[in-house]
Chains A and B, each alone.
Chain A
Amino acid sequence: AQSVTQLGSHVSVSEGALVLLRCNYSSSVPPYLFWYVQYPNQGLQLLLKYTSAATLVKGINGFEAEFKKSETSFHLTKPSAHMSDAAEYFCAVTTYSSASKIIFGSGTRLSIRP
């Protein structure tokens, strides 16, 4: 079975500062990993996904994530936070044998201070 742990239910950074949202996964087989973003009163949309092609994955809005097998991590980063980045972020995992079922983490709410 797979699982995802997001460290920190709430992260607050200043505008222009580095954004780091942490995600650790557990999987007995090679995982496929996702980061989704949820803006207020909206559904989730995909930021980026890791599917074993490259360990550093670039997504939309300047976000990127690095797959580190040795650390079982898939942390999300952005060099410079913008006010529009305020949202809830979900890390998620699936595997080839999971038949498209995705397991979501509990989410991290990102706040941006002016």
Chain B
Amino acid sequence: DADVTQTPRNRITKTGKRIMLECSQTKGHDRMYWYRQDPGLGLRLIYYSFDVKDINKGEISDGYSVSRQAQAKFSLSLESAIPNQTALYFCATSDTQGGSSYNEQFFGPGTRLTVL
């Protein structure tokens, strides 16, 4: 089984609809992240969470919200989807074992979201 899973894998929706993307992990990591990937722009950080009670905005948080329901679950919501939110969305996890702040991030398979 995959360590970081994302649901759904693909979603087509209409402008103005509320959408939730879900991420679950079995790695036991404390830190979780949401990114969006656009062609030619790489990955940009939307939100990140260091534990259930610690949630922080990334560089492009406008139009998005998140919920850390448990250490293993981190959801991303688009309250009112718009076409320029069409992108590939990735969830990632990392831990701070050993006190390291530069541990690698482990990525889910991604969710392809299309907003019409």
A residues neighboring B (CB under 8 Å): 9, 32, 34, 41-46, 49, 51, 90, 94, 96, 98-102, 104-107
Interface residue count on the B side (C-beta < 8 Å): 25
Q: Tell whether, in the assembled complex, residue A100 and residue B96 are in contact, meaning their CB atoms are under 8 Å apart.
A: yes
Inter-chain CA distance A67–B111, complex, in Å, is 33
Contact among B31, B41, B43, B104 with A46 in the assembled complex (CB-CB below 8 Å) = B104
Question: Other than the known A43-B110, A98-B101, A101-B48, what 9 A-B pairs have Cβ atoms closer than 8 Å?
Answer: A32-B102, A41-B110, A43-B90, A96-B102, A104-B42, A104-B44, A106-B40, A107-B40, A107-B42
Q: Are A100 and B4 in contact (CB under 8 A)?
A: no
The smallest beta-carbon distance between B107 and chain A, in angstroms, is 3
- Cα distance, A69 to B107, chains bound together (Å): 29
Asked if B45 contacts A101 (CB within 8 A), the reply is yes
